[in-house]
Amino acid sequence: MGLAYEKAIKEDLSKFKRYQDALHSIKLDLMQKGFDDFSDAGFNKIESLKKEFSEQE
């Protein structure tokens, strides 16, 4: 039973890391395309999600 929980936790951690990586990649893509206004709502949402996922680790 403990192994099942451990596996589920590792899968969740892996999923969170993938989300964080994807958010970072999206942010870099937007910056490359000239959307680098950090006061923009889109960047605020990305930063909010990034912060939320980093707190859940």
pTM, 2 dp: 0.57
* pLDDT above 70: residue 49: yes
* pLDDT above 80: residue 39: no
Q: How far apart are CA 36 and CA 51, in angstroms?
A: 19
> Please, what's the b/e burial string for 16-34 (b: 16 or more CB within 10 A of its CB; e: otherwise)?
eeeebeebeeebeebeeee
Q: Spell out the residues 6+ positions from residue 53 whose beta carbon is closer than 8 angstroms to its own.
A: 16, 19, 20, 23
CA angle 46, 52, 56 (to 5 degrees): 145
pLDDT for residue 56: 61
